[in-house]
Structure 1
Amino acid sequence: MISKFGGSFHIDHPLDPQNRYLSHSFVESPNMKNVYDGVAVLDVIGAATVELPDWFEALARDFRYQLTPMGASAPDLYVSSEIDDGNFAIAGGVPGQHVSWQVTGIRKDPWAEDNRIPVEHHKPSSERGTTLYSPAPP
């Protein structure tokens, strides 16, 4: 068994698996999760369309959204259109306002589908009573 506290990996590019890779860093989650984020500036009607990489929908499924208005509250801010054709839409904000957004998705590339990680399991008897890391006492 190999254990690792952090790192990166590369996978076949979902739109060109024979010729390119995608490189990502690890996200600590029980799922093989991709995380993308950015900042959108709302237009004159308090809306924005967020463009995602062209390969995003080929790589991930089960999307989750987080929106954070910056500078002032925006109680009516919402995802007005879910991810489709490489973008999603935000509405209900203040014109000119900046909105921090985050989208997560579960990897659906062939390797991920065939190699889901079991979340919980017992340590073998030879490792019981031990920890992978024990900080030095203060």
Structure 2
Amino acid sequence: MREKISLLYLCTGNSCRSQMAEGWTHALKSDEIEVYSAGIETHGLNPNAVKVMAEAGVDITGQKSQHIDEFKDTKIDYVVTVCNHAHETCPWFPADCKVVHVGFDDPPKLSAPDASEEVKLDGFRRVRDEIKTFVETLPRFLAEEK
């Protein structure tokens, strides 16, 4: 049996994109990947991310918003940055890891602040589905990035 790879999804606040990616990876790839998520800041779980993941049958309520510093002593094979800001401004990455950037739109920024709840959720759903499509390519995608 092959050893699992360890993967950390990183975004700015660890509230939406990285949380959805962690949830999808748990749901779809837990036999191959030990997954974590973190941010360069912590903003807590976004309730709309929780809601749209639940619609897809993935419960992320047990996950928490974590800071990258919490992983200083964790062996990480890959860091996947899921937003440009984290990719460009992360103060450090775990030693000996491969950093791969796969950017996704920030769901809260996909609609106007005064948009209806349904319009706001549609942005979250689109990004959720894009992240699922990406996770389905793992770990093959990571091997190709070497």
Greater fraction of residues in helix: 2
Structure (1 or 2) with the larger CA radius of gyration: 1
Q: Same fold, TM exceeding 0.5?
A: no
TM range (shorter): under 0.3
Give 1 or 2: higher strand fraction.
1
| TM-score of the two chains, using structure 1 as the length reference | 0.22
